[in-house]
Chain A
Amino acid sequence: MTAALVTDGLGKRYGSQWALRDCTLEIPRGSVTALVGPNGAGKTTLLRMAVGLTRPSAGSVRVLGLDPHVDAAEALPRVGFLAQEHPLYGGFTIAEMLRVGRELNPGWDEEAARARIAELDLPLKKKVRSLSGGQRAQVALTLALAKRPELLLLDEPVASLDPLARREFMQTVVEAVADRELTVVLSSHILADLERVCDRLVILAVGRTQLAGSIEEIVASHRLLTGPRDEAEDVARLHDVVRESHAERQTTLVVRANGHVYDARWTVHELDLEEIVLAYLGQDAARRREAVLS
């Protein structure tokens, strides 16, 4: 079976600025993937290209084996998308929003949509404009889910929500994944929102993929090493160094280990996911500083 989302050398340029560059990744079906990166890393651009809103400037993107631009009529019914600002028609009632979903989607699940709205305790006659941010996000998610997509793309879905609304939103996503075969990609610049829900991680930084893989494998392979400064190069020969910091005689390395790390002169610590992501994003910040200086 083809992967849910495949990109190959994907890039998008606006004028002379690359919003995303040389992004190659593969997201398997049935996974829940966190797309993490600082603001401006190209997360939104990547997701928009995946759903056909934006045309790539370089490389290719395929969703469920289809080109979202060329095969739009075939791909769109199978991909759900929720934009960052949770767009809904402000002057419409919730009932009218559901009608929009029904009219525009052949696979629409009216029963599930109504059940979800009832669960949220929202009157169908209520205008979208008068909803709170959290309610609005939930209605938008209800619409995206009732379409019964195979792949659901959520762009910074909880960035604008308060902690309680975040929790409720993520709970809805978890339930949807448990319910049926659904691949989810959700982006965020806050890892804490995603860790409980996701089983895979993609780190985008400086508009490129830095790291992609299952969270389990990522946590298992990354280590923090502390040891003599003059032997840091030997370590770099064996393992991928993500980040290094030097004191007078001592060096601290975050490495992606190739195989087991054992060396009496180095102390080895395990890292949690957040520390690993920060190591990658810190590296990104350092590179950006270099770019500015040069």
Chain B
Amino acid sequence: MIWLSWRQQRTETLIAAAILALLTVAFVPAGIHAADLYVQQHVARCVDRQTQACGFVVGNYVLNTGVLRGLLDSGWFNLIPGLIGVALATPILLDLENGVVRLAWTQSITRRHWIGTKLGFAVGTAVLAGAGFSALFTWYEIPFDRIFGRWDKFDFEWLAPVGYTLFALGLALAVGVLVRRSAAALVVAYGAYVAARLFVQYWLRQHLVAPLSATWGPRSAGPNLSSAWVISQVPSDKAGHPFSGGAQVFQACVRSNGDGFKGVSQACMARHGAGFTHAVYQPASRFWEFQGIEFALFAGVALLLISFAAWRVLRTD
């Protein structure tokens, strides 16, 4: 049964391996280059420093590390764990669709054994592929994470990609046992994967743990947000409420000496209740907590979906 599972899943496994190999070929040289450059250009001394000179150093560094990082920034690579997960479901779905399961289920092994081995193989491969994906980008991002904080590429690092791959696999299996048309099932499952990822990324994730907030005045530097995940940062009054009457206050507090603009009086701004900043954010220290939640969420739903698929297969007449 192990040989059969491998033989039937060979194409999909090779596709996943090819995708990862392609990414490795592209990102490993770029990652080595980025790590070298980080040392050569003394970027480390500019971490957490907001001076103009450091802004120049960091900007220059990112520019010199090449286009791949920009490609990663675009977010398109988020589609890859889903592709791999969905692909790994296809051998099982095709077997069910074209009735060849009636061959496997009338050999000497039980159906439970069959589905157990098949799912074990698919899940194992999905975990390995997700881990490979994650390992590559977690490594590649080391210098960038130091500069921008680890939140920046949260869904490419550590546990999260493993959860995504499993989730896509579970979705494809669950939809597949329901609709019984593999091609349609894969399309629907992939659409659902993308929708779920967008929903979590842009809405759910920030609500998982109540974010911190801070309000600070013009004379204070405020909390260090350089490696935090800043959900919002807006001009506010002293109490942290969004400040709206900006234009009038600004006009009232402009200091001029008759022939030109000289600056804004911060004391005047404060008197009018302006000049404060309100930020809502998740601190860098919560990175692991969020990784854990994200993984548990996606892998947990995947487990439910895969169990459902197995249950349906066992009950198939």
In the bound complex, how far is the Cα of B10 from the Cα of A172, in angstroms? 34
Given A54-B317, A92-B7, A96-B7, are A104 and B102 also a contact pair (CB < 8 Å)? Answer: no
A44-79 Cβ-contact flags toward B at 8 Å (1 or 0) = 000010011111000000000000000011001101
Contact between chains at B107 and A85 (CB < 8 Å): no
Contact between chains at B1 and A89 (CB < 8 Å): no
In the bound complex, how far is the Cα of B111 from the Cα of A283, in angstroms? 40
Chain A, 72-95, CB within 8 A of any chain B CB? 72-73, 76-77, 79-81, 83, 85, 87-90, 92
Given A89-B100, A103-B3, A104-B1, are A53 and B105 also a contact pair (CB < 8 Å)? Answer: yes
Closest to B103 in A: A87
Contact between chains at B108 and A51 (CB < 8 Å): no
In the bound complex, how far is the Cα of B106 from the Cα of A80, in angstroms? 7
A94-112 Cβ-contact flags toward B at 8 Å (1 or 0) = 0010011101111100000
In the bound complex, how far is the Cα of B3 from the Cα of A101, in angstroms? 11
Contact between chains at A106 and B99 (CB < 8 Å): no
Contact between chains at B102 and A53 (CB < 8 Å): yes
Contact of B8 with A by CB under 8 A: yes
Contact of B41 with A by CB under 8 A: no
Contact of A243 with B by CB under 8 A: no
Tell me how many residues of B have a C-beta within 8 Å of chain A.
Answer: 21
In the bound complex, how far is the Cα of B4 from the Cα of A80, in angstroms? 19
Contact of B44 with A by CB under 8 A: no
Chain B, 48-74, CB within 8 A of any chain A CB? none
Min Cβ gap A249→B in Å is: 53
CB neighbours (8 Å) of B4 from chain A are: 100, 103-104
Contact of B268 with A by CB under 8 A: no
Contact of A147 with B by CB under 8 A: yes
Given A87-B99, A89-B100, are A101 and B107 also a contact pair (CB < 8 Å)? Answer: yes
Contact between chains at A72 and B110 (CB < 8 Å): yes
CB neighbours (8 Å) of B101 from chain A are: 87
CB neighbours (8 Å) of B102 from chain A are: 53, 81, 83, 87
Given A96-B7, A104-B1, are A81 and B110 also a contact pair (CB < 8 Å)? Answer: no
Min Cβ gap B138→A in Å is: 36
CB neighbours (8 Å) of B111 from chain A are: 72
**Which of B105, B108, B317 is A105 in contact with, Cβ under 8 Å?**
B108
Chain A, 157-214, CB within 8 A of any chain B CB? none
Given A73-B110, A76-B108, A106-B108, are A87 and B100 also a contact pair (CB < 8 Å)? Answer: yes
Contact of B104 with A by CB under 8 A: yes
**Which of A48, A54, A88, A99 is B103 in contact with, Cβ under 8 Å?**
A88
Closest to B95 in A: A89
Contact between chains at B103 and A147 (CB < 8 Å): no
Contact between chains at A88 and B7 (CB < 8 Å): no
Contact between chains at B103 and A83 (CB < 8 Å): yes
In the bound complex, how far is the Cα of B111 from the Cα of A51, in angstroms? 12
Closest to B104 in A: A104
CB neighbours (8 Å) of B110 from chain A are: 72-73, 76
CB neighbours (8 Å) of A14 from chain B are: 317
Given A76-B107, A92-B7, are A103 and B1 also a contact pair (CB < 8 Å)? Answer: yes
Chain B, 88-120, CB within 8 A of any chain A CB? 98-111
In the bound complex, how far is the Cα of B2 from the Cα of A99, in angstroms? 12
Contact between chains at A53 and B106 (CB < 8 Å): yes
Min Cβ gap A140→B in Å is: 8
CB neighbours (8 Å) of A85 from chain B are: 99
Chain A, 214-246, CB within 8 A of any chain B CB? none
Min Cβ gap A177→B in Å is: 20
In the bound complex, how far is the Cα of B8 from the Cα of A90, in angstroms? 11
Min Cβ gap B8→A in Å is: 7
Min Cβ gap B2→A in Å is: 8
Min Cβ gap B1→A in Å is: 6
Chain B, 1-43, CB within 8 A of any chain A CB? 1-4, 7-8
**Which of B98, B104, B107 is A147 in contact with, Cβ under 8 Å?**
B107
Contact between chains at B109 and A83 (CB < 8 Å): no
Residue with the greatest number of chain B CB neighbours at <10 A, chosen from A48, A53, A92, A147: A53
Contact between chains at A81 and B106 (CB < 8 Å): yes
CB neighbours (8 Å) of B105 from chain A are: 52-53
**Which of B99, B100, B108, B317 is A104 in contact with, Cβ under 8 Å?**
B108
In the bound complex, how far is the Cα of B315 from the Cα of A54, in angstroms? 9
B125-168 Cβ-contact flags toward A at 8 Å (1 or 0) = 00000000000000000000000000000000000000000000
Contact between chains at B3 and A76 (CB < 8 Å): no
Closest to B7 in A: A96
Residue with the greatest number of chain B CB neighbours at <10 A, chosen from A48, A79, A99, A104: A104
**What are 18 A-B pairs with beta-carbon distances under 8 A?**
A53-B102, A53-B105, A53-B106, A55-B317, A76-B109, A80-B106, A83-B99, A83-B102, A87-B98, A87-B100, A87-B103, A89-B103, A100-B107, A103-B1, A103-B4, A104-B108, A106-B108, A140-B103
Chain A residues with CB under 8 Å of chain B are 12, 14, 48, 51-55, 72-73, 76-77, 79-81, 83, 85, 87-90, 92, 96, 99-101, 103-107, 140, 143, 147
Chain B residues with CB under 8 Å of chain A are 1-4, 7-8, 98-111, 317
Instruction: List 15 additional A-B contacts (Cβ < 8 Å) besides A87-B100, A103-B2, A104-B1.
Output: A14-B317, A54-B317, A76-B109, A81-B106, A83-B99, A83-B103, A85-B99, A87-B103, A88-B103, A89-B103, A92-B7, A103-B4, A104-B104, A105-B107, A140-B103
